[in-house]
């Protein structure tokens, strides 16, 4: 592990420690202003993640008029709401992918990635997810895209089927170690099928997005109900422990014979990606889920606020994951001893995660429907 270089920025130190920094945000204004390109050089940003909530915030932003003309043109063409959203979001992702193409080329396809998610309405529809993933991949038409598929039970076979087609995937909404193990299996099965289908395994990339801060929020809420010193001492520790044990599982599974055989045939590991890294508790350090989850070959996708906090005052001390497995196991055994049902915690979070994205998607549909209806009659 490299030690932080004196005089270098915290974001550069993260990169030196093997962490790829991706921005968890996208908007047409950020693209057009040059801000997105600027972050590559000034903040070591090497990729972008989007989700339904991010697009809802961008397109629904009353202070951003960059979507007005495209919406008017879509109204004139007779586009419906779903068609308009598809056009707007895939255009933004394609434009962002072009900005990051240099990073993609320089890193051999590892970074420079821009993610776009299948409709959350399809979270429990395997066939619908596969169909939309193929449609998104074809529409964006850039090799540095990642298609986001949620790690629901219905999402798992979709991940395998999409990887088998040679499409690169960002698996999202992972909360539990058990489900993460199933995600790795789905990825490896997809690679095996892709190999049988004659695809170049080296061109297929994937990340597994493990959510962090939401775990603390839910666990801490349950710990408060115990009203004990032991419970208080465990607050704000479950999220990091869960993510660290995910990395332990990553090392184990990708070091095993099944994965090694695929890697020998040219396949890439599916990198762990830390998502939900914004700190929600003001009593905690605002870089907690960045500096405490440093490990080689990981991605940390950050909202801008977290990125700026990290750049400003993040203290990077090298690998903070692989030496902390024993402590992470201890946290989970102590939570179990108290009676915190982690299985229920993670299922609750998955259900809430899907529901939140569906709600954002419905809000986006309403916003776009209103914009299409309000477009000048002369433009139609």
Q: Which of 134, 135, 148, 280 is catalytic?
A: 148
Neighbours of 189 (CB within 10 A): 18
**Distance separating alpha carbons of residues 134 and 320, to the nearest angstrom:** 37
The CB-side HSE value for 77 (13 A sphere, CA atoms) comes to 12
What are the beta bridge partners of residue 301? 22
Active site annotation includes 195: no
Strand, coil or helix: 145: strand
Residues 6+ apart with CB under 8 A from 222: 340, 345
146: left (phi over 0), alpha (psi -120 to 50) or beta: beta
Alpha-carbon 10 to chain mean position? 21
Q: How far is CA 324 from CA 25, 273, 277, 330, in A?
A: 30, 18, 19, 10
The CB-side HSE value for 330 (13 A sphere, CA atoms) comes to 6
The b-or-e profile of 78-107 (16+ CB within 10 A means b, else e) is ebebeebbbbbbbebbbbbbebbeebbeeb
Residues involved in catalysis: 148
């Amino acid at each position: 592990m490299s030690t932080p270089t004196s005089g270098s920025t915290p974001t550069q130190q993260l990169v030196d420690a093997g962490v790829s920094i991706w921005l968890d945000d996208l908007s047409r204004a950020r693209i057009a202003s040059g801000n997105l390109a600027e972050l590559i050089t000034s903040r070591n940003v090497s990729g972008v993640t989007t989700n339904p909530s991010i697009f809802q915030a961008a397109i629904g932003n009353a202070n951003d008029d960059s979507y007005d003309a495209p919406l008017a043109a879509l109204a004139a063409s007779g586009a419906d709401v779903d068609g308009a959203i598809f056009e707007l979001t895939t255009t933004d992702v394609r434009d962002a992918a072009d900005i990051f193409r240099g990073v993609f080329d320089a890193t051999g396809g590892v970074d420079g990635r821009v993610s776009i998610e299948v409709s959350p309405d399809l979270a429990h529809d395997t066939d619908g997810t596969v169909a939309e993933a193929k449609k998104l991949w074809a529409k964006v038409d850039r090799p540095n895209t990642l298609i986001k598929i949620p790690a629901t039970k219905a999402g798992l076979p979709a991940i395998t089927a999409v990887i088998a087609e040679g499409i690169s995937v960002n698996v999202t909404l992972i909360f539990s170690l058990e489900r993460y193990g199933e995600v790795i299996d789905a990825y490896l099965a997809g690679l095996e099928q892709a190999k049988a289908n004659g695809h170049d395994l080296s061109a297929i990339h994937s990340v597994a997005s493990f959510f962090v801060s939401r775990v603390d929020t839910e666990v801490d809420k349950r710990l408060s109900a115990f009203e004990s010193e032991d419970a208080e001492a465990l607050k704000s520790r479950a999220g990091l422990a869960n993510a660290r044990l995910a990395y332990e599982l990553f090392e184990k599974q990708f070091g095993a014979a099944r994965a090694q055989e695929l890697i020998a045939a040219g396949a890439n590991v599916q990198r762990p990606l830390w998502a939900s890294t914004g700190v929600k508790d003001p009593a905690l350090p605002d870089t907690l889920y960045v500096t405490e989850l440093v490990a080689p070959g990981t991605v940390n996708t950050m909202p801008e606020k977290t990125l700026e906090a990290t750049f400003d005052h993040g203290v990077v001390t090298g690998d903070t994951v692989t030496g902390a497995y024993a402590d992470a196991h201890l946290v989970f055994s102590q939570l179990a001893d108290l009676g915190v049902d982690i299985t229920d915690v993670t299922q609750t979070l998955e259900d809430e995660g899907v529901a939140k994205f569906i709600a954002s998607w419905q809000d986006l549909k309403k916003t776009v429907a209103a914009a299409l209806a309000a477009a000048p009659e002369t433009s139609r």
